[in-house]
Amino acid sequence: MDIGVISVRYARALLKSATDAKIEDAVYTEMQQLAKSYADVPQLRFTIDNPMLSKDNKEALLLTAAGKNPSELTKAFIQLVLKEDREGVMQFIANSYVTLYRQQKNVIRGRLITAAAVSPATEQKMRQMVESKTNGTVEFETEVNPEIIGGFILEYDSYRMDASVKSKLNSILTQLRK
């Protein structure tokens, strides 16, 4: 079977169970943390895939990677994944859960890139603007990149607004070269 199909099936089942138990937000945070752990520590995947490592050690490792105090549902789910020998797709399951949760809750990821740090009030205004345009909740991330010189770059969904000084200067330079 295909890894994508397997991971989505497990993620759907976890999301349904979490929604029924009304803890889908907590499980979302845990799956985000688990996915982040896989991304931050590439050795985690190799360790989990190691057939010499006992299921108990794999379970302890995955629970630690999921956060400080994982919910009982997450604990039971990890045990199920290990029992079914699907630990090799756990990273994909976590990512699939995050994607499915965002679809279900209409959560859009947004990013604001500025040359200097912005005030929380400015960040909140940008978040509200994106939320009003998308009719959803926005997970907003800010980034400081001095290379854009000034202005900002706003990205969400498939939309990108580049109001940076660097892009304006590049545009003028392109015009002058013609």
Spatial distance between the Cα atoms of 91 and 148, rounded to a whole number of angstroms:
34
Question: What's phi and psi for 137, nearest 5 deg?
Answer: -90, 140
- Residue 157 is given by DSSP the state T
Asked if residue 140 has pLDDT above 90, the reply is: no
Spatial distance between the Cα atoms of 30 and 32, rounded to a whole number of angstroms:
5
Asked if residue 8 has pLDDT above 80, the reply is: yes
Spatial distance between the Cα atoms of 106 and 29, rounded to a whole number of angstroms:
16
How does pLDDT run across 97-117, given as a tens digit for each residue? 999 999 999 999 999 999 999
Asked if residue 157 has pLDDT above 90, the reply is: no
pLDDT of 158:
87
pLDDT of 73:
98
How does pLDDT run across 27-76, given as a tens digit for each residue? 999 999 999 999 999 999 999 999 999 999 999 999 999 998 999 999 99
Select the more confidently predicted residue: 2 or 95.
Answer: 95
Q: In what order do the strands lie in the sheet with 137-144?
A: 137-144, 107-114, 151-156, 159-164
Give me the mean pLDDT over the 79-86 stretch: 96
Give ∠ CA 24-28-15 in degrees, rounded to 5: 50
pLDDT of 1:
60
Contacts of 141 by beta carbon, 8 Å cutoff, 6+ apart: 109, 110, 111, 112
Contacts of 101 by beta carbon, 8 Å cutoff, 6+ apart: 15, 24, 28, 31, 107
**What integer best gives the mean pLDDT of the chain?**
94
Tell me what percent of the residues of the chain surpass a pLDDT of 90: 85
pLDDT of 178:
77
